[in-house]
Amino acid sequence: MTKPMTLYLSIWRQPNAKTPGKLIQYTVTDVSPAMSFLEMLDQLNRDLVRKGETPIEFDSDCREGICGTCGLVVNGIAHGPERATTVCQLHMRHFKDGDAITIEPWRAKAFPIVKDLVVDRGAFDRIVASGGYISVNTGAAPDAAAILISKEMADLAMDAAACIGCGACVAACPNASASLFVGAFLSKFALLPQGQPERKQRAQRMVSQMDAEGFGGCSNIGECEAVCPKEISLSTIARMRRDLWKALF
């Protein structure tokens, strides 16, 4: 039987957006290696509630690496040390008994802290909304096989569509750029025939909104791709830039 672990946590606590925050030290015991990272935080919160203390706020929903709701910086790495893994799918077996772990929220001007480890990622929603809709009147839904699409293009579009909008790319980027997120969103339409109407205008609107939200510019450092839990490629950023260039010139 695997021995339970004791971990020493430094967790960012901040009561609201207007009050300064700081790292607070906690010790959590009896941590099973089979737990997920968020289950370990759940256990810590239960201990805090029993002591009459305020539990730590953090976002989560599906806990299956699908929804993109969770997002923590673990020891300086967005989503933690395991590649292509959301923090809700990060398991405690990747840590050792006695480890010191620092847990912080996403750090970006465009992601203001709401409380503790929770940030407001509404900027992503506004960027998506700025892209608008395809305005072509298509009539009844066409047969799925009516438009021929090569497997290569279909695979590339699906790879881009795998983005869950978690914001790890922003948190990892030294410039707090959202280019990987926007590039992935644009690519999943740009690679398919259905996405060609308003393709250039969509790119211009979304990039303009991204800039208006306060995200930084991309300088091709590549940290975004390194921490992306769905391994979205930097090529989506290149595609976004080409479409924007065509829209402007």
DSSP codes of every residue in 86-118: -GGG-BGGGS-TT-EEEEE----TTS-EEETTE
CATH fold for domain 121-248: Fumarate Reductase Iron-sulfur Protein; Chain B, domain 2 (1.10.1060)
DSSP 128-147: HHHT--------SPPPTTSS
- What mean pLDDT is predicted for residues 127-150? 81
- What mean pLDDT is predicted for residues 101-124? 97
pLDDT of amino acid 213:
98
Residue-averaged pLDDT of the chain: 95
Residues 50-101: pLDDT tens digits?
999 999 999 999 999 999 999 999 999 999 999 999 999 999 999 999 999 9
Task: Decide if 71 contacts 59 (C-beta within 8 A).
Answer: yes
What is the domain partition of the chain in residue ranges? 5-104, 121-248
Q: Quick check: do 5-104 and 121-248 share a fold?
A: no
Residue 15 reports pLDDT greater than 90: yes
In terms of CATH, what superfamily is 5-104? Beta-grasp domain (3.10.20.30)
CA distances from 150 to 153, 158, 236 (A): 5, 12, 18
Question: Tokens for 105?
Answer: 């929220």
Phi–psi pair at 114, nearest 5 degrees: -90, -50
Residue 138 reports pLDDT greater than 70: no
Question: Tokens for 247?
Answer: 């829209």
pLDDT of amino acid 145:
76
Residue 141 reports pLDDT greater than 90: no
